[in-house]
Structure 1
Amino acid sequence: MTISPRSHHARLNYLLTNPQVNAETFYVPLLQQLLQAFIGEDVLLTLDTSILWDQFCWVGVCFVWGGRSFTLAQMVLEHGSASVAFDAYLPVLEQVLNLLPPDCRVMLLADRGFEHGELIRWCNRHAWQWSIRA
């Protein structure tokens, strides 16, 4: 039995337009289950940005493990620069803080666009180690 390309398109369209299929319902519980294996362990996170079409800025925190990275939290801002104010990306950090299991030791890696005293103080307050490339 072969499935027509039209059928594949219909299934994909259903997933993309179905309001019940979202990250909160499927991806977050999967992440929480995965991260339970890291209770009391070292966790490596990256904080990064990407510019999209010179108009939008993606800000994300990813979990690095086994040569791969998994997005834990992200947001897109209408912002034409990769340098984003701390207050703008703080919600992403707070989301990650709520996802991580207790007692894990976090190392946050960030690029030079994140040289913010507020970020360093926030990391210190939550006992996260940090390394910012300056």
Structure 2
Amino acid sequence: MYQAVLAHLEHSLWNDTRNARTLAWMVTGLVLSQRPSLPAWLPHIHSRATFAQSTERRVRRWLENPAIHPVSIYGPLVTRALRDWGEHTLVLALDTSMLFEKFCLIRVSVLFRGRAVPLVSHVLEHSSAQVSTAHLLPVLAEVKGLLDFLGIRQVRLLADRGFCDKELMGWLQICGWHDRIRIKSSLILAAPDGQRLCKIREIRLAPRETRCFQNITLTGRHFGPVHVALARPLDGPEQWQVVSDEPTSVETFAEYGERFQIEEGFLDEKSGLFGVEDSKLRDADSLERLILVLSVATLLLVSEGI
């Protein structure tokens, strides 16, 4: 397996052979051991080192090396994959996940054939999964840079209600991206002239009822025009509330529902497949490089499956 992984990496990282080989070791060890532990990788790493400790030190130095920038390594790999996957509207999901209750992983994933493939990931020391737009925009700017490089313009971003922020939606509007974002019940809907219509929580729907509001604004800064879809499912008390930059319909909920694939991806990494929280790393930069290894493994496995 190592040779197949190395060949794939060297094709994209042709000017960085040493990094490609070290990364191939780690990806191979991760996939075959299904554990994010350096000692667990060693039986699957075939190097010319005489002692296993030498190989472990090299891998550890790689994870701790401040000169290793994940986006510069992962960018060529994921852009090559996006070229191979053909032309279509690119559906992205934005979400966060906590690691060790101390670090927040911010991620934008590509949703493709039922899988959430990491596109850009960033780890910061932060005690909550709720992060400010100031933290989100640099991550989204990296995404935009990759997509602009590929000439991809048709983009739809999906996000949960924690990301319902007018500054963020304004940034997406400037980029020309579409969005489907869940919104909070406390938001006020207003007519284009600013006249208050109602708070979302004041709208009571019967089970299976759907109501759409087109060309309205969200207060307090009267952001809009936007379009809102509300629905109450038959089997639950919680109301679905989604804002979109495009006219809404029942189909809006199916489009937003694709977002849950990124949560399944987090589950794979944390407790399902790789168990990232079993690692001994406890600083944001080293964790971000470990997340790079997991992202490369996911990308290669999905590409191989395709």
TM-score range (shorter-chain normalised) is: 0.7 to 0.9
Q: CA deviation at 1:83?
A: 1.3
Alignment of 1:1-134 (within 5 A): 5=43, 11=55, 14-18=58-62, 19=65, 23-24=70-71, 26-37=73-84, 41-100=88-147, 101-134=150-183
Residue 104 of structure 1 and its aligned partner are, at CA, apart by: 3.2
Q: 3-state SS of the aligned residue for 2:75?
A: helix
79-88 vs 35-44, which moves further: 35-44
Q: Structure 1-normalised TM-score? A: 0.81
Q: 1:33 to 1:77 in 2, by over 3 A?
A: same
1:77-122 CA deviation, whole Å, 9 max, x = no partner?
2221111110111111000001112143111010111011011001
Change (3 A) 1:83 1:25: closer
The letter for the 1-side match of 2:168 is L
Q: Distance in 1 between matches of 2:76 and 2:155?
A: 20
* CA distance 1:25–1:127, shift in 2 (3 Å): closer
Give the structure with the higher percent strand.
1
TM-score after normalising by structure 2: 0.38
Contact map agreement 1:61 1:74 (CA 8 A) in 2: yes
How far does residue 17 in structure 1 lie from its aligned partner after superposition?
A: 2.6
- Say whether the 8 Å CA contact 1:82–1:113 is kept in structure 2: no
For the residues of structure 1 that align with 2:69 and 2:56, how far apart are their CA atoms? 14
Q: Is the deviation greater in 84-93 or in 101-110? A: 101-110
- Three-state SS of the structure 1 residue aligned to 2:70 is coil
In the alignment, structure 1 segments of 5+ residues that lack a partner are none
Mapped to 2, the partners of 1:52 and 1:29 lie a distance apart of 27
| Structure with larger RCO (C-alpha < 8 A, sep 6+) | 1
Instruction: Give the number of aligned pairs.
Output: 131
More helix by share: 2
State how far apart, in whole Å, the 2-side matches of 1:124 and 1:78 are: 29
Moved over 4 A (4+): 6-13, 19-22, 37-40
**Alpha-carbon deviation of 1:7?**
5.6
Cα distance between partner residues in 2 of 1:31 and 1:111: 24
Could you say if the C-alpha distance between residues 7 and 106 of structure 1 is closer, same or farther in structure 2, counting changes exceeding 3 Å? Answer: closer
Distance across 1 between alignment mates of 2:70 and 2:125: 21
Larger of the two Rg values belongs to structure: 2
**CA RMSD, Structure 1 to Structure 2 (Å):** 2.6
C-alpha separation in 2, matches of 1:7 and 1:34: 25
